Amino acid sequence: MIRTAKTTRRTTAFSLTDLLVVIVVIAAMLAVQLPTDAAARRTARQMQNSVQLRGIHQALVTHANSQKERFAGLNSKGQILKDGERTTGNSGDGNTIQARYWIMLRGEFFTPDYAVSPNETADIDPVDYDGWDDDTVPTVKWDERDKNYSYAMLGFRKGRANNGQPPSFAVNADDAPRAAEWRQTLNSQAVVLSDRNAGDNATNQVESIHSGERGEWRGGVLWNDNHVGFESEQYLETKYANGALNRNPLDNLFDDRQANDQPRGANALMVIAGETTVHGGE
C-alpha cells in the first residue's frame, strides 16, 4: 500500500501588532515629511512675494519712463497729483497709496491680484478688474471693509502754505528726502516697497503677514535698485537722498522719528493707506 504524505498549510494572519507597527511607521514618515512640506510651501510663498514686490517696482520704473523718472503719484515736475476722476480715480491725492495703485492698475502695468501677497489671499479682495474702460474704473481702497492690496509704499505728505492750508501739488519740505527717492534713483540703501505691518504700532505690537506673531515683524523689503530681501525685523540700515546713513541707531521702517539729528524725512516710512497710515491692523 502506498502512503501519501499529508501537507499542512498554515495561514499567516495580519495581526493587530503588525497593524500597529505599520501605523507607527506611517506616522513617523508623516512627522518627518509634513514639516518639510510646510517649510517648502512657506519658502515658495516668500519667493513669490519677492517676485511680486520686484514686479511692482519694475512697473513703477516703466511708468517713470514717461514722467522724467518719477514714480506713480508724482507728475514729471515732482509735484503731487491732485485727486480726481481722471488723475487718480477719486482714490485720493497722489501721495496716498491707494492713488498710486490706481494709477498703476489703470495703466495695466500689472493686474490687481499681483498687488495681493500670497500670504493674504484669503483676507484681501483685489479691485474688480474687467479690462477697465473710461466708464468702469473703480476706486482703490484700504479700510476696514475694503482692502485691495498688501504692500506698503514709501510715504510723504503734502506741503502746507502759510495759512495752514494744503497747496496744490507741493510736497512737505520735511519729507523732501523721501519724495526724492520716489523716482528711479537706483539707490541700494533706500527702501521704497515692503510687506505691510499688520500690527498696531511700530515697535512692541508690530506683526507680520507671514507669521502673525504679535511683537515680531519679518517680510519682504524692496530697495530702489530693485533688489529684494526677506528681512527678519523692521530695523535696517538706510539712506535717503542727501541724508546721512541710518546705521546707529538703525532705521525702523514703520517709524518716522528722527535719530542722530537727521533731517526729517531722511529715513524710511512705509505707509499702507492715505499719506500717513503706517499700520494695517485688522
pTM reported for the whole predicted model: 0.85
Q: Is residue 17 part of a domain?
A: no
Residue 102 lies in a domain: yes
Write phi, then psi, for 181 (nearest 5 degrees): -90, -5
Residue 5 covered by a domain:
no
pLDDT of residue 87: 92
How many structural domains does the chain have?
1
What pLDDT is stored for residue 65 in this prediction?
95
Q: Is residue 64 part of a domain?
A: yes
| 123 falls within a domain | yes
Residue 276 lies in a domain: no
222 Cβ neighbours under 8 A, 6+ residues apart: 53, 54, 56, 57, 191, 192, 193, 194, 228
* Residue 41 buriedness (CB in 10 A; 0-12 / 13-18 / 19+): exposed
- Whole-number pLDDT of residue 64: 97
Q: What is the pLDDT of residue 1?
A: 52
Tell whether 136 is covered by a domain: yes
Mean pLDDT, contiguous 10-residue spans, the chain (282 residues): 54 70 77 70 90 97 95 95 92 96 94 94 86 73 92 93 69 94 97 96 94 92 97 97 93 90 91 91 64
For the chain, helix, strand, coil in percent to 5 are 25, 15, 60
Q: How far apart are the two ends of the chain, measured CA to CA in Å?
A: 95
Which DSSP state fits 83? P
Residue 277 lies in a domain: no
In Å, how far are 178, 264, 278 from 269, measured between CA atoms? 8, 11, 7
User: Which residue segment(s) compose the domain that 253 sits in?
Assistant: 22-271
